[in-house]
Structure 1
Amino acid sequence: MEEQMMQAAAQVLVGGTGPGQEGGSWEHKAPQNNKKTGIRWCFVMARALEWKSAPSFTPTTPCSSSWNSAGFPGWPLKVKESCTQDRGKPPNRHTPALPLRRECPIFQPMNVAEEFDRMSADYTAKMERLVPYYRTLTRLLAEGLPPEFRPQRILDLGCGNGNVTEELLRRFPQAEFLLVDASTEMLHLCRHRFAEHPGVKLRQAWIQELDFPAESFDLATAGMSFHHLQSPEKQALFQRLHRWLSPRGCFACADLLIDKDDEPFHSAHLRFWKEYAYEHGTDDDEWNWVIDHYHTFDFPDGLERQSRWLLDAGFREIRILFRKIGWTAFWARK
């Protein structure tokens, strides 16, 4: 069924461009009144877009569909009650099951903190060299928010050295910030970086163990941090995030959204990632370290899986701001 949908999806793509080219548009012509496959079709369309034109395709024309419950790259997702109608039903070939990842026995939280303590020196340069589109993804966590949105209380989850907060401060200089990270060295960098901003507070903690009173924040952000959480931890955190946010509050995330067992897409992602890293100055030793880190500490989940978890948590609107070869920026609104 999915192969047929992929073929159909490829047929309705129009104006796709190749690497280095500009322009291009696409239309969505999903089967009418087929709500069983509605969500799945939309993600097949997104996958077809990535395969057809990666890494530089950008949609320029909105989709037209009577079923607006799934997100396309760059277009809003407004969730209707009909989106939830297949929840709780047994999985079938139209609505595939989304299994949780098994716990990884070698994963120890303290190892992650120590890993990022070591990474803290020249962190930004390393991220720009090793993470495709890093600056674009980080910038979109501030610039991609709804234009009328004016958060006063902002939570930065897995703040690192403060690159996301720096972008947000430019747009919301009067806001109060709470930056959370498990790495002592990263928080040390943030303490010096934001010493002249009294509204910026720091907390050392594991983000999967956090809790706050209801409606404590207007905006929560996560820049390249949630892929360190295992599937059950992400699901639980999405539930808590929804509770922490004020009415119409937003969760904005930039991260790698991919399933490691999704072949051949995952292998294509790794090839592209390696080519990008070497083109930007990575050597063999550094790339071997990246892959070791990826297989040891990273537990990414795909866009479809995480979108379903956000809907289950109660978020009502999702917008995909950017997506190329798994690297994704989006926001979800309460």
Structure 2
Amino acid sequence: MNEIVKNQFDAAAGQYDSQRRRLIPCFDDFYGMAASLIRTEEKSPDILDLGAGTGLLTAFIHRRYPEARYTLMDFSGSMLEQAKERFAGTGANVRLIVADYATEDFGGEYDFIVSSLSIHHLTHPGKRELFRKIRSHLRPGGAFINADQAAGSSGLYDAYYRELWETSIAASGLKPEEIAASKERRKMDINTTVPDQLAWLREAGFAEADCVYKYADFAVFHATGVSGPND
């Protein structure tokens, strides 16, 4: 993954959580929907969080599955240090791995693989390859949940989504330098349309895939139907 992106998130690690709610207009619905898609009778499923950062999405899931086994992978050690502090004393079964998930082996199979606001940093070929890799590391009956950004169907909608977001953060109470830093980070985004992402998930071998939630350019994807090894 891009080294510039890594440096930006290293620098933002200490303020990341405090800014999220004000930078994401649909914060509760966005993360809440992603967490609600973890559905299993198993009390301690194995869950891999890619680009886990400070463990924000995992924290939402942990409220519902406190006995799950969590693996958090991120290329920013600074972000994972924040995750370590988040889960300290909670009794959560959390393993932290500092690595680039685009190139690192996932080390086994999982019941669920999740990600939030990370995969859009990959190139389009990188996303397609990652989706295939994710499918190959899911157990039969497993699912992939991705809460991420999505491009509009045209420049008209991208401009509209950007206007909505900038209006929201201008009224968020964030400091001007925090807003400027967030805008700078978004210059590195490589967003992909919803139809393209769904097509790539099916291409990767998922039998079922849908965008189950969308607010402007914030979208939650669910893909399942893993019944065996990759073809």
Normalising by structure 1, what TM-score? 0.63
Match of 2:15 among 104, 122, 125: 122
Quote the residue 1:255 is aligned against.
148
Q: Rg bigger for which structure? A: 1
Q: Does 1:193 align with 2:86?
A: yes
**TM superposition shift of 1:266:** 0.7
Task: Determine helix, strand or coil for the equivalent of 1:178.
Answer: strand
Length, aligned pairs only: 224
Q: Cα RMSD over matched residues?
A: 2.0
Q: Does 1:292 align with 2:190?
A: no
Task: Determine helix, strand or coil for the equivalent of 1:315.
Answer: coil
Q: Does 1:220 align with 2:113?
A: yes
Quote the residue 2:162 is aligned against.
270
**TM superposition shift of 1:230:** 1.1
8 Å Cα contact 1:227-1:301 kept in structure 2: yes
Change (3 A) 1:174 1:188: same
Runs (5+) with no aligned partner, structure 2: 227-231
Match of 1:205 among 76, 86, 99: 99
**TM superposition shift of 1:231:** 0.7
Where do residues 227-246 of structure 1 align in structure 2 (5 Å cutoff)?
227-246=120-139
Quote the residue 2:26 is aligned against.
133
> Which letter maps to 2:31?
T
Cα distance in 2 for partners of 1:220, 1:286 equals 31
**TM superposition shift of 1:149:** 7.0
8 Å Cα contact 1:151-1:219 kept in structure 2: no
Using CA pairs below 8 Å that are at least 6 residues apart, which structure has the higher relative contact order? 2
Task: Determine helix, strand or coil for the equivalent of 2:14.
Answer: coil
Task: Determine helix, strand or coil for the equivalent of 1:220.
Answer: strand
Where do residues 56-67 of structure 1 align in structure 2 (5 Å cutoff)?
none
Task: Determine helix, strand or coil for the equivalent of 2:11.
Answer: helix
**TM superposition shift of 1:145:** 3.4
8 Å Cα contact 2:66-2:92 kept in structure 1: no
Quote the residue 1:166 is aligned against.
59
> Which letter maps to 2:76?
S
8 Å Cα contact 2:31-2:60 kept in structure 1: yes
Change (3 A) 1:304 1:150: farther
Change (3 A) 1:305 1:188: same
Quote the residue 1:157 is aligned against.
50
Quote the residue 2:213 is aligned against.
322
Task: Determine helix, strand or coil for the equivalent of 1:187.
Answer: helix
Higher strand proportion, which one?
A: 2
Q: Does 1:280 align with 2:166?
A: no
Cα distance in 1 for partners of 2:61, 2:178 equals 30
Change (3 A) 1:323 1:150: farther
8 Å Cα contact 2:43-2:67 kept in structure 1: no
Query: Identity of aligned pairs, percent?
Result: 28
Quote the residue 1:93 is aligned against.
none
Which string of whole-angstrom CA distances, capped at 9 and with x for unpartnered residues, describes residues 32-80 of structure 1? xxxxxxxxxxxxxxxxxxxxxxxxxxxxxxxxxxxxxxxxxxxxxxxxx
Quote the residue 1:303 is aligned against.
194
**TM superposition shift of 1:147:** 6.2
8 Å Cα contact 1:151-1:218 kept in structure 2: no
Task: Determine helix, strand or coil for the equivalent of 1:209.
Answer: coil
> Which letter maps to 1:311?
R
> Which letter maps to 2:22?
R
